[in-house]
Amino acid sequence: MNTDTWPVSKTVSVVVDTAGWFDPFAQRLVKDLISSGHQAALIRDYDDVPAGNVAFYLSCMRITPLEILARNERNLVVHASDLPKGRGFSPIVWQVLEGADEIPVTMIYMAEEVDAGEIVLQDTIYLEGHELNDEMRDLLGNKIVEMCLDYTNSADLPESRPQSGESSWYPRRRPNDSQLDPHQSLAAQFELLRVVDNERYPAFFDYRGFRYTLRIDKQGAIPTSETKG
């Protein structure tokens, strides 16, 4: 291994171009990287990305210009699917709607084609079927932090491999994707209720000429003796 290109202490950028749910995880990642002996910073604007060893682009909404990627030796992103399956948008949401309870999490090097870079690390988050949107984000955020630390703290540069197999693409979710059918039971639509965002794209239904929104919050586990069905 060439220690000049994979030093023990690395200069690391954690790039998050949009404020949102990942912010506390990004802040913790930077803190943990510094505690591990690296130089790390949270970057909001692509123009502020410094030259360095590693840049993680996490929860980013914009395409990163090639001249920005050139500033770091290695640029990585983490995607919640078994790439090349499930490229695109909101992969964890689409998989929950498909009935999945094991969500692959894949770290890849960034490439010109979206979500098409070589695979560096893979792990899995496990769902029990009751988790709501915020809880799924917590599981994913913690896993992303863990994988980024594992990558950066590795004594040797982790090996990567090309993606293989047939690819698939998830489209961007829109507010109308949170629409419920008032003629179906809540149980039949529970997976959709699990993934809605109460603030940004709440569940809603149209009935008798009006539109209604629903908020879903978990109140806690029901004692076994009271559980039915």
Q: Which CATH number do you get for residue 94?
A: 3.40.50.170
Q: Is residue 5 part of a domain?
A: no
Q: How far is CA 98 from the centre of its chain?
A: 17
3-state class percentages of the chain: helix first, strand second, coil last, to nearest 5: 30, 25, 45
- Residue 182 shares a structural domain with residue 163: no
- Residue 131 shares a structural domain with residue 82: yes
Instruction: State residue 130's pLDDT score.
Output: 97
Average pLDDT across the chain, whole number: 95
Q: Is residue 32 part of a domain?
A: yes
Total number of domains in the chain: 2
- Residue 204 shares a structural domain with residue 102: no
Q: Is residue 1 part of a domain?
A: no
- Residue 106 shares a structural domain with residue 186: no
Q: Is residue 128 part of a domain?
A: yes
Q: pTM of the prediction? A: 0.93
Per-residue pLDDT reduced to its tens digit, 8-67: 999 999 999 999 999 999 999 999 999 999 999 999 999 999 999 999 999 998 889 999
Per-residue pLDDT reduced to its tens digit, 198-211: 999 999 999 999 99
Instruction: State residue 3's pLDDT score.
Output: 45
Q: Is residue 45 part of a domain?
A: yes
Instruction: State residue 2's pLDDT score.
Output: 41
- Residue 144 shares a structural domain with residue 45: yes
Instruction: State residue 226's pLDDT score.
Output: 61
- Residue 116 shares a structural domain with residue 146: yes
Q: Which domain holds residue 33?
A: 11-169
Q: Spell out the residues 6+ positions from residue 5 whose beta carbon is closer than 8 angstroms to its own.
A: 53, 73, 157
Per-residue pLDDT reduced to its tens digit, 136-178: 999 999 999 999 999 999 999 999 999 999 999 999 999 999 9
- Residue 32 shares a structural domain with residue 126: yes
- Residue 156 shares a structural domain with residue 192: no
Return the sign of the alpha-carbon dihedral for residues 177, 85, 160, 80. positive
DSSP state letters, 114-165: TT-SPEEEEEEEE--S---HHHHHHHHHHHHHHHHHHHHH-SSPPP-B---S
Q: Spell out the residues 6+ positions from residue 111 whose beta carbon is closer than 8 angstroms to its own.
A: 117, 118
- pLDDT band at residue 227, thresholds of 50, 70 and 90? low
Phi, psi of 35 (to 5 degrees): -65, -25
Of residues 172, 178, 167, the one with CA closest to residue 200: 178
Q: Is residue 57 part of a domain?
A: yes
- Residue 103 shares a structural domain with residue 154: yes
Q: Which CATH number do you get for residue 190?
A: 3.10.25
Instruction: State residue 111's pLDDT score.
Output: 93
- Residue 94 shares a structural domain with residue 201: no
- Residue 57 shares a structural domain with residue 159: yes
Per-residue pLDDT reduced to its tens digit, 79-138: 999 999 999 999 999 999 999 999 999 999 999 999 999 999 999 999 999 999 999 999
- Residue 33 shares a structural domain with residue 118: yes
